Chain A
Amino acid sequence: MAIMNVNPTRMELTNLKRKLVTARRGHKLLKDKRDELMRIFLEKVRENKELRKEVEQGIAQANTAMSVARCVMSDKSLDVALMLPTQEMYLNVAEKNVMSVMIPAFDVKFRTANEHDIYSYGFSETSGELDIAVKALSDIMPKMIRLAEIEKSCRLMADEIEKTRRRVNALEHVMIPRYEETIKYISMKLDENERSTTTRLMKVKDMMLNEAHHYNQ
């Protein structure tokens, strides 16, 4: 590891020592952040996987029923049946701060008082399969909302973990060793200067004694 390009002075040494302390503290904090994020992320991603499997199964069932409905009913009457929905879904979005990652939290609101008011058509002109398809979708909908919430959270957290990990590694393997080595270099240089001053003084003393008393020790 290359040392930094600095003057070997006492002031630089003090500065560098202060920077090293900050770097070490930052490293520890970031490492804690990474570990905690990782713990929450793994919890969430497991739930994400389970939810996704359930949702995909549910949608597959609904799609099967829908295909049957499409066969039984004419395209036109199906269009008419689903053209004007009675229900409307809204989301209230809150933001939750997890280790400085803002993750969304969704809260579902329905336009009509009864959230099961999902059949936007009369029963006389439509087939029962359509009811089954709509019901299946409606059953899986709360899970789909939860899936949206959790998948987005996982995505954002994965990005943040990657960033944090890079920072931790940069501090651990680049910044801190570089500071340590530069500090070592400066203190060795200063020691060396001190020793050379001492020897010089001793030499000068010898020469002065020699001149004054004409003797060699």
Chain B
Amino acid sequence: MYKIAALGDKDSIYGFASLGVNIFPADGAAEGTKILRGLAEADYAVIYITEQLAAEMSAELERYASRPLPAIIPIPGVRGNTGLGLDNVSKFVEKAVGSDILS
């Protein structure tokens, strides 16, 4: 049995708590990195992370990119959509095809 986590600033992820997602408030890359490492070792299959935090710790996220689990998914936070998520999808296409043919 795997669990689901949400990581980011408290205001963005608070609502997920009532759905049964475990929330881990983190401010700044240093704190986020520390929590993320702990989560990756524990039984978390999906970790939702706010785009703001994801942008700050992109190097750390790369470490988990090639592993089947956990899936780290950026979601927009309360401070609005930065477009990081869609950019990531475009990056996959660029990597696989050679150029972004879907945009």
Contacts and interface: CB of A to CB of B under 8 A. Distances in A.
Given A89-B3, A89-B19, 5 more contacts: A48-B89, A56-B85, A148-B71, A152-B71, A154-B89
Interface residues of B, number: 39
Given A56-B81, A118-B18, A118-B19, A45 B102 contact: yes
A25 interface: no
A110 B95 contact: no
Interface in A135-163: 137-138, 141, 144-145, 147-149, 151-152, 154-159, 161-162
Contacts of B86: 49, 52-53, 56
Interface residues of A, number: 62
B12 A63 contact: yes
Nearest to B51: A56
Contact of A134 (B4, B19, B77, B93): B19
A161 B96 contact: yes
A103 B45 CA distance: 12
B46 interface: yes
Contacts of B76: 56, 59-60, 63
Contacts of A121: 18
Interface stretch (A12-20, A90-98, A188-196, A199-207): A90-98
Contacts of A78: 14
Q: Which 5 A-B pairs have the closest CB atoms?
A: A152-B71, A89-B20, A87-B20, A88-B20, A158-B96
B2 A148 contact: no
A91 B2 contact: yes
Interface of A: 38, 41-42, 45-46, 48-49, 52-53, 55-56, 59-60, 62-63, 66-67, 70, 78, 82-83, 85-93, 95, 102-104, 106, 109-111, 118-121, 133-134, 137-138, 141, 144-145, 147-149, 151-152, 154-159, 161-162
B18 to A, nearest CB: 5
Interface string B75-103: 11110110001101100110111000010
Contacts of B42: none
B19 A149 contact: no
A144 B18 contact: no
Contact of B95 (A59, A86, A145, A162): A162
Nearest to B81: A56
A128 to B, nearest CB: 15
Contacts of A93: 2, 45, 69
A121 to B, nearest CB: 8
B15 A133 contact: yes
B69 A104 contact: yes
B4 A147 contact: no
